[in-house]
Structure 1
Amino acid sequence: MLFAHILAVAIPCIVSLVAALHLSRRRIYPLPLPPGPRPLPFLGNALQLDAKRPWLTYTAWGKTYGKIIHSRILGIDLVVINSENIARELLDKRSAIYSDRPVIRTNELAGLAFNTALLPYGETLRRHRKIFHQVLRAEASVSYHGMYSRHANELVVNLLDATSDMQKHTEVYTGSLIMAVTYGHTARGHDDPFLARAHELVDIAKHILSPERAAIFAAFPFLEKLPIWCFGGAYALMGRSRELCQQLLNEPFDEVKTQMANGIASHSLVADFLGQCDDDAEEDTMKAVALMAYIGGIDTSTSTLQIFLLAMVLYPDVQARARAEINQVVGHDKMPCIDDRASLPYLDAVLREVLRWCPPIPLGMAHATLNDDVYGGYFIPKGTVVMVNQWALSRDEDTYPDAARFDPDRHLTADGQLKDNFVNHFAFGHGRRICPGRWFVENSLWTAMAAILAVLRIDHARDSNGDKVEVKPEVTTGMVM
């Protein structure tokens, strides 16, 4: 029996190893692949990566091999773009080739197959994006302006409690605002059951959905048949993720249906949708879109607000200038609102610089090629995973001189006007997979920043002697920083 058990485990291992070794052999292409570090047999460049901060490794490789580089992880081809111009050339101008997503097996194993961000290019994705466009496009976001302000004012009141956790309050702001818009749900603080479950799901997802994390299942497919508890670490949480997904897909959605049946539903995306639809299949699509609107924005928006607060502590001159602009335009006797945005270009520049200085998703969301392509004399095969290294873009000294410094002026012309269109900011992605909720995100972030600066002064904490406590600009790791 023991021998049979060993064979049952060993044979799939050997088959998978042989298959992976076959994948790692040098293929013959009509042109060279983009340059990159020399891979080891089978493992490729896996051992050369900083596992926690791969964007730093890719940035360093870019300085050696160029703005577009090739690497291989366990037989998977990766092309990493370290240039915004190249990203625009390929992902925007050749979007018909670069609009697919790689197969991230951890996404499906964790119950997240409905995830709009990782859907393959096709009809299901088009249905998702059509709904997103209808409810979150620039024109539609106007109806949420009052909601932005109410939640931003609550955030300011909560931040006045100096002894509390600032991150908790920024999480509640982003989470409760999106829940209100999506489901008409009034969150009851950080302990709200919907918020708590969503945060737990996001915490799991951001550690297991990267191509590097998923590569082990592509190389060894038999691993999927093993019990979840065998894997340890974040992988062991995939079972809990599946449970959370089912709860979050159904419970808030069903709550809206019940409220509508009783005539007490608040205005929301889901309520508007249900008022026009009687198709169960479309309901399933709306469930997925509603949950993705929530989990897709909560962590990135929270991260952005945390980076904003950090920058305001480290760069008090920027904070003072942004506050002075608000006081001059809006005055001291009322709160700024989204209608004031066009008259506050420096504050908009601060928001753009927050996203530039520390992009919340440093490697963006991976793309995949639908066909072979050639760029700059290099061959990019069909099925290649293509990632835009947003960290490298943010630190490109040719585009952003003294890139490590937080400087909103780099987004302004000499006469103080904004240089370009904010919705094209690289932090929102590229091509046909650009963030469909970017107008809602930027308005909610801008409103929160305006409210904070209008009321609060952000400064160093003080120790028992009255001396300021130095702040170290450190961030967490994972798909979202």
Structure 2
Amino acid sequence: MLFILGISCIIALVVASGLTRRRVYPMPLPPGPHPLPFWGNALQLDAKRPWLTYTAWGKTYGKIIRSRLFGIDFIIINSETIAQELLEKRSANYSTRPILRTNELAGLAYNTVMLPYGETLRQHRKIFHQVLRAELSASYHEIYSRHANGLVINLLSATSDLLQKHTEAYSGSLIMAVTYGHLAQGQISFLTRAYELLNIGKRVITPENAAMFTAFPFLEKLPFWCLGGAFALMGRSRELCQQLLNEPFDEVKAQIADGTASHSLVTDFLSQPHDDADEDKMKAVVLTGYVGKTGMETLASTVQIFLLAMVLYPDVQARARAEIDQAVGHDRMPCLDDRASLPYLDAILYEVLRWYPPVPLGISHATLDDDVYDGHFIPKGATVMVNQWALSRDEDVFPDASRFDPNRHLTIDGKLKNPFVNHFAFGHGRRICPGRWFADNSLWTAAVTILAVLRIDHAKDSNGDRIEVKPEFTPGLTIARLKA
């Protein structure tokens, strides 16, 4: 109530001071719904699932549309072709990020994903490339398999309410093993706090929320508790960031000193000459990899969607298992070396990311300069979002798009049409996810291990009747966790 009252007062002040003048552009912006004074299109959005609103608007206004929130221009791309044209072919103009004050206020400015284009970003991505490039990501074979086996053991006795817990434990412990190694003193605490930070961050740093602070900068002078909701947790977010940046890193240092450190990205880094500035960058890169776009929640969410698809489409599950049986047999567990013989499984995972893209609006880009596309003006500083949900539901590209069908991604002779790491879910242009090979291998290993051991089916009630699955998804920056 205080929040609503506060916003009403803000609007009254803005009206009175005459700050409602719009910029005059030399050409028309992309089409979109008529914005209201001050609010723009904010009241017309589904606040919890804005990608659905943008997709619906795309059917009326076209493949590239304009939305305005509190005087800030948003350009929404609803087409893979346009995304390629702008973010790939004109990447020099579309590779920075919008300045999100919520990101800074929540203590998340370290995050590689949201860094503006420049030297710091290049240094971060260089580190990512050194530790998560394709050939090195494939070398973690034993770690992938060990954690996937643990996931299967947990799933054997899992009830629906524990599904989320077990998939999160898989993704979190796997990424921790690669980044920090074994943290004997603080692993459970670290995982708990990392998820707490992630849950705050995904609610706070959406472009729609950030627009409010950009339009009304004096909001950040107010106590966050009076803004209500997730904003009240910004202080806690800053505290968690400092803890998670420093504590696990310092523990690895202590392990190196007493000779108990296991092999990890951090131990490799600390074994080389470096200075304090390098340490700060490494801390940021490692924590970004842990809780970032391809970090623990995104991987856990994707595994959950895979399990959902296997329940709802038993014919797909049966075909995948038959492919594994034929290629590998029953004498051993499948591994990454078998991947070339299992194209249908790759097609399943490609379809998982298409069917429910884990970050439906991707990560926002921003324009460094004015641009023109198809007769429409895209102003400097505009926030540009690729609506991955709209891409996934484009009937011209994916007929009967709501249906889960891995065959979409196979050629007539049964080969995968496109490499998994080129999926639009990993982003576009110079900001494509640098951890995509790690995400690819860890997801594939989990899926093949599950299919080799388990038969995934509906749960039964006390009468032995099948319990129908009614998937629900938590809102936020990501589709996030499945509730079945």
CA, structure 1 residues 255+281, in 2 after alignment: closer, same or farther (shift >3 Å)?
same
Contact 1:145 1:338 in 2 (8 A): yes
Q: Gaps (5+ residues) in structure 1?
A: 1-8
Query: In structure 2, how many angstroms separate the alpha carbons of the residues matched to 1:185 and 1:152?
Result: 17
- Does 1:400 find its partner at 2:393? no
Correspondence for 1:314: 312
- Does 1:231 find its partner at 2:227? yes
Q: 1:185 aligns with which of 182, 185, 201?
A: 182
Alpha-carbon deviation of 1:306? 0.7
Query: In structure 2, how many angstroms separate the alpha carbons of the residues matched to 1:212 and 1:178?
Result: 30
CA, structure 1 residues 314+228, in 2 after alignment: closer, same or farther (shift >3 Å)?
same
Q: For 2:124, what is the secondary structure of its paired residue?
A: helix
Query: In structure 2, how many angstroms separate the alpha carbons of the residues matched to 1:188 and 1:82?
Result: 47
Contact 1:179 1:187 in 2 (8 A): no
Query: In structure 1, how many angstroms separate the alpha carbons of the residues matched to 2:237 and 2:370?
Result: 35
Correspondence for 1:167: 164
Contact 1:187 1:195 in 2 (8 A): no
Correspondence for 2:469: 471
Contact 1:17 1:220 in 2 (8 A): no
- Does 1:136 find its partner at 2:132? yes
Q: 2:150 aligns with which of 150, 154, 179?
A: 154
CA, structure 1 residues 20+233, in 2 after alignment: closer, same or farther (shift >3 Å)?
farther
RMSD of the alignment, in Å?
1.8
Query: In structure 2, how many angstroms separate the alpha carbons of the residues matched to 1:454 and 1:58?
Result: 39
Correspondence for 1:60: 56
Contact 1:20 1:219 in 2 (8 A): no
- Does 1:461 find its partner at 2:459? yes
Aligned residue type for 2:462 = S
Q: Gaps (5+ residues) in structure 2?
A: 1-5, 480-484
Alpha-carbon deviation of 1:18? 5.9
Q: For 2:434, what is the secondary structure of its paired residue?
A: coil
Alpha-carbon deviation of 1:342? 1.1
Correspondence for 2:38: 42
Deviation digits for residues 229-263 of structure 1, max 9, x if unmatched?
11111111111111110110001000111111122
Question: Which stretch shows the higher mean deviation, 270-279 or 281-290?
Answer: 270-279
Q: 2:421 aligns with which of 416, 420, 423?
A: 423
Aligned residue type for 2:235 = G
- Does 1:440 find its partner at 2:441? no
Q: For 1:374, what is the secondary structure of its paired residue?
A: strand
Alpha-carbon deviation of 1:120? 0.8
Deviation digits for residues 379-406 of structure 1, max 9, x if unmatched?
1000000000000000000000110000
Identity %: 75
Alpha-carbon deviation of 1:14? 8.0
Map 1:10-409; keep pairs closer than 5 Å. Answer: 13=10, 17=14, 22=19, 24-163=20-159, 165-185=162-182, 192-296=188-292, 297-409=295-407
CA, structure 1 residues 115+374, in 2 after alignment: closer, same or farther (shift >3 Å)?
same
Contact 1:101 1:366 in 2 (8 A): yes
Question: Which stretch shows the higher mean deviation, 260-269 or 452-461?
Answer: 260-269
Aligned residue type for 1:464 = S
Alpha-carbon deviation of 1:42? 1.3
Q: Please give the TM-score of this superposition, normalised by the length of structure 2.
A: 0.94
Q: For 1:303, what is the secondary structure of its paired residue?
A: helix
Aligned residue type for 1:152 = A
Query: In structure 1, how many angstroms separate the alpha carbons of the residues matched to 2:356 and 2:182?
Result: 31
Q: Please give the TM-score of this superposition, normalised by the length of structure 1.
A: 0.95
Aligned residue type for 1:273 = F
Q: For 2:134, what is the secondary structure of its paired residue?
A: coil
Correspondence for 2:482: none
Q: For 1:165, what is the secondary structure of its paired residue?
A: helix
Q: For 1:336, what is the secondary structure of its paired residue?
A: coil
Count how many residue pairs are aligned between Structure 1 and Structure 2: 470
Contact 2:351 2:406 in 1 (8 A): yes
Alpha-carbon deviation of 1:312? 0.6
Query: In structure 2, how many angstroms separate the alpha carbons of the residues matched to 1:215 and 1:374?
Result: 23
Query: In structure 1, how many angstroms separate the alpha carbons of the residues matched to 2:17 and 2:326?
Result: 64
